[in-house]
Amino acid sequence: MKNNLFLPFALPDIGEEEIAEVVDSLKSGWVTTGAKTKKFEQDFAEFVGENIDAVAVNSATAGLHLALEAIGIGLDDEVITTSYTFTATAEVIRYLGANPVFVDVDPITFNIDISKIESAITSRTKAIIPVHFAGLACDMDSIIDIAKRHNLKVIEDAAHALPARYKGNLIGSLQTDATVYSFYATKTITTGEGGMIVTRDRDIAKRCRVMRLHGISKDAFDRYSSTKPAWHYEVVAPGYKYNMTDIAASMGIHQLRKAEGFQLRRQKLATFYDHELEGLPIILPPHAPKGDLHAWHLYVIRLTDDVCVSRDDFIRQMADKGIGCSVHFIPLHLHPYWRDTYALKPEDFPHALCSYEHAVSLPLYTKMTDADASRVVAAIKTVLSGR
């Protein structure tokens, strides 16, 4: 029988500050891209580091698309990434007529396998998209070194990675071409829907700003809020409709201020899980190396081969006990579109396949109480005991 007090897999943590800021935007009469969005961009750039430009968009998918377009990815180019990610990472490559080239993941971290990248490079390769899975930074020194030696661009998919650090440096501040964050409802901070591109390259930032709003040379806010006639604009490229609204940015302004506190709470919950789940027939997620910081967007366990239930049955039984779990991710090479378009087989990426077949994402979010976490642990122990 299902528990009436169901604990969902994820919930956003929205405070009175966010609500008041949204109400202020609604009352102001300006609800689309405007002053609040500009403030969120400025705050975010300052948060990430010096000489950073931040461009707010309506999703991380939009951000990845814009970043790839800005670095010149086009027809029949190739972009290396991992199969163990959400489809958005790869689909944006196809938007531009280019092709993703998938490589396997490291079996411990689920991040891109550094040893597989160079063998995937061809004369058509133009960029690499590393994905910081679950909030754990990839081996960025190795990726940047490979990119420099082969004259490739690097766009980081940091959808899981705020405020992750690599060797003491915030993800987004490294020597890559651009980094893209997600503010979807389940992420470490949220604007409901939304994303942010950060870059040190002013040309990339300028191109992203133009292309996020129909290729128009001026933002609507600049034209409509001017006290002097400013109606004239020019369309300089066939752009997209990817701008963030002030309503979303109103949430982001305050969520960003809480990002480091949110990480501390997530880390505390992850440490509790580590302690309570030790010794069970599961593989616990890796922690960040010394000098790095895990964002703990996800806490992914892997069931060992000797457990008494299958992965799918485990999730069903957890739901019956009132605990919502999920799976991150179904590898892209198993999905019909990617499988059929690129003639991929399940065994082509054995680590991604094995990780997927055993992986379970446990609830991990800042609104969880210690009692909630204890409920999760108790349910896991019951399911794994076969009772």
Catalytic amino acids? 187
The CB density around residue 93, as the number of other CB atoms within 10 Å, is 24
Beta bridge partners of 80: 101, 128
The CB density around residue 109, as the number of other CB atoms within 10 Å, is 19
Short-list 301, 259, 290, 277, CA closest to 110: 301
Cβ-contact 263, 295 below 8 angstroms: yes
Angle at 359 between CA 159 and CA 131, to 5 degrees: 25
Short-list 226, 230, 229, CA closest to 216: 230
Residue type, 138: C
